[in-house]
Structure 1
């Protein structure tokens, strides 16, 4: 029997694999819960915010290197050369957190934006500059963005957490475990993702953790009433806290978290009158964190990734 007939050969002819690409998608938390009049304003703001975050960390070149982009409602998806995958995790995610922070500080509109981000890598077809193409990796990108773990990461966190990202296992292995992103592996939390027929392991990354952002600890609503009244505001996302020690100067204070105050030893007092502004009286050594900015703003600096 002839096993090399034209029909059988055609049926077994392999097809070329589409090019590997790094992909990022972002949307806004509780978009549908806002008034309809805000929808177009938010949709217009999203790519501007993303671009500003890339510029903020000196990676305007990565933003400019998008090979395709696609918008749908409150989501923005972009395709990048695979070599840029580590930069979509670090420093971009931290810069996006700070960009949203600064928008709140200056009262930019629309206000109160918090964003989910998904990142993956894989083969994807070329559909031109205004469409992200097709492929299993493109489906994965959307399934990750809408999965329960990344939604819960924002729901269970305080308002100071403005970004929650979920990264595919392939992207995590290629960029983080390999060392290319220059991040500690324990900054990521492994989660199980189930969304429609998609079931995979993925990794959560929350640039600024606040109350129970990764589902660890007891939610405030489940604490006994006596304990709930004793939880400091800083534990549920507030930006300021106060520690007081009475007695001799041998007392020790240990504050873990974001500090916008002074750390002092000896006989003196510190009065914090605002962000990065300190006044002291008394004597003794004083230790202050003068620069409390959480991320180096490299806006205007263009560097090669």
Structure 2
């Protein structure tokens, strides 16, 4: 009989550097070194135990599973701002081609350790969020931003909307993510910037809506502030 799988529920954090493929070999090595250094520094600033994270390095990125007792609010409240500060200090001293800018996706959910990584919906969802067009476009639309973050709807609803963080809900913009077979609401956050300034219409083509303004609907964001939710399409 096959033993029962060990089912866990954990916070997943995925990070990826933008523009990594256009760097030289030396530039890529430097980006990898700085990425690990800044993640470790931010973890220390937030009082998180980075050494105990289950980490899968990926050159220009990292996928991490946090221990069950690592506080979710600290990741949003302290870790992300500390990481943003590291990046901004670094980038002020670098030429544009040497700057390091990151996309971050955060989700809490079910996963199972496997023979070659992690199985279950949580790793899949955080990967889809990390590759989502709204997150990628944020760093294009706001060239001064060093980091752009996408929270799953569950993390936003359970942590930010419940005022467990000092980051207000009005710092986020709700977006719809369409990535391959995945479709879900998520919440975009660009620390230090208005996330509503990161708006790019969906691409045109046979598998996308007709060209024109991005469809929008007026909604009431948590905290009673009215904003605009933009729907994005993703190509396979």
TM-score normalised by L of structure 1: 0.58
Q: Is the 8 A contact 2:171 2:195 kept in 1?
A: no
Tell me by how many angstroms 1:58 deviates.
4.0
CA distance in 2, matches of 1:62, 1:125: 21
CA distance in 2, matches of 1:121, 1:47: 22
Query: Which residue of structure 1 aligns with residue 220 of structure 2?
Result: none
Query: Which residue of structure 1 aligns with residue 22 of structure 2?
Result: 33
Q: Larger radius of gyration, structure 1 or 2?
A: 1
CA distance in 1, matches of 2:27, 2:94: 16
Q: Is the 8 A contact 1:25 1:145 kept in 2?
A: yes
Query: Which residue of structure 2 aligns with residue 71 of structure 1?
Result: 57
| Residue 154 in structure 1 maps to residue 139 in structure 2 | yes
| Residue 204 in structure 1 maps to residue 188 in structure 2 | yes
CA distance in 1, matches of 2:194, 2:184: 26
> Does the C-alpha gap of structure 1 residues 44 and 190 become closer, same or farther in structure 2, counting only changes over 3 Å?
same
Q: Is the 8 A contact 1:154 1:213 kept in 2?
A: no
| Residue 169 in structure 1 maps to residue 153 in structure 2 | yes
CA distance in 1, matches of 2:137, 2:37: 26
Across the aligned residues of Structure 1 and Structure 2, the Cα RMSD in angstroms comes to 2.6
CA distance in 1, matches of 2:135, 2:195: 15
* Corresponding residue SS for 2:143: coil
| Residue 121 in structure 1 maps to residue 105 in structure 2 | no
User: Which consecutive residues of structure 1, in runs of 5 or more, have no partner in the other structure?
Assistant: 1-9, 217-305
Tell me by how many angstroms 1:86 deviates.
1.6
* Corresponding residue SS for 2:199: coil
Query: Which residue of structure 2 aligns with residue 54 of structure 1?
Result: 43
> Does the C-alpha gap of structure 1 residues 163 and 86 become closer, same or farther in structure 2, counting only changes over 3 Å?
same
Tell me by how many angstroms 1:111 deviates.
2.8
* Corresponding residue SS for 1:207: coil
User: Which consecutive residues of structure 2, in runs of 5 or more, have no partner in the other structure?
Assistant: 201-236
Q: Is the 8 A contact 1:192 1:200 kept in 2?
A: yes
CA distance in 2, matches of 1:208, 1:142: 24
Q: Is the 8 A contact 2:189 2:195 kept in 1?
A: no
